[in-house]
Amino acid sequence: MAEVYHSACPLNCWDSCGFNVTVEDGKVTKVEGDPEHPITKGKICGRGRMLEQRANSDTRLLYPLKKINGKFERISWEAALDEIAATMKQNKEKYGSASILHSHDYANGGLPVQP
Ligand code: SF4
């Protein structure tokens, strides 16, 4: 049986468009704009609409991989998160807070770096 969930776009665009996501038998089958969202009012872009295909892609990564000696090897979530946290902490201490801001692509164009 299909169920529709209210959600929001997870992409790196700060519009955070409201979604209605249809799920059937545990699988996302449709991503549409939520017409009840007070700001985006059902409008979403092509990237947001493509998330149904992205969620169901055979090539979607489902677990962390680490490049070791030129090859990607599966590691645990705990090991991945510990390593990422340690690297972020090290970079923040060495280069400042702006060095760990994850921001790329279009939409907001990235935050300006504070002097
Ligand atoms: S404009 Fe597109 S990418 Fe940005 S939040 Fe909306 S659906 Fe997502």
Cα atoms found within 13 Å of the Cα of residue 87, Cβ hemisphere only: 8
pLDDT for residue 90 is more than 60: yes
Torsion of CA 112, 113, 114, 115, to 10 degrees: -130
pTM for the structure as a whole: 0.67
Record: fold of 2-55:
Phosphorylase Kinase; domain 1 (3.30.200)
**27 or 100: whose pLDDT is higher?**
27
Question: Which tens digits make up the pLDDT trace of 6-63?
Answer: 999 988 777 889 999 999 999 999 999 999 999 899 999 999 999 999 999 999 999 9
pLDDT for residue 106 is more than 80: no
User: In this predicted structure, what is the pLDDT of residue 100?
Assistant: 82
User: In this predicted structure, what is the pLDDT of residue 111?
Assistant: 44
**106 or 81: whose pLDDT is higher?**
81
pLDDT for residue 109 is more than 70: no
31 lines ligand 1 (CB under 6 A): no
Pocket probe mutation, ligand 1, options 7, 47, 49, 51, max atoms within 8 Å of Cβ: 47
**b/e for 17-46, b at 16 or more Cβ within 10 A?**
bbbbbbeeeeebeebbbbeebeebeeebee
Listed by start position, the domains of the chain span 2-55, 65-100
Give residue 3 CA to ligand 1 midpoint distance, Å.
22
Q: What is the CA radius of gyration of the chain?
A: 18
pLDDT for residue 1 is more than 60: yes
User: In this predicted structure, what is the pLDDT of residue 102?
Assistant: 63
* Helix/strand/coil for 65: strand
What six digits make up the tokens of 66?
């680490």
Positive or negative: CA dihedral 45, 35, 39, 8: negative
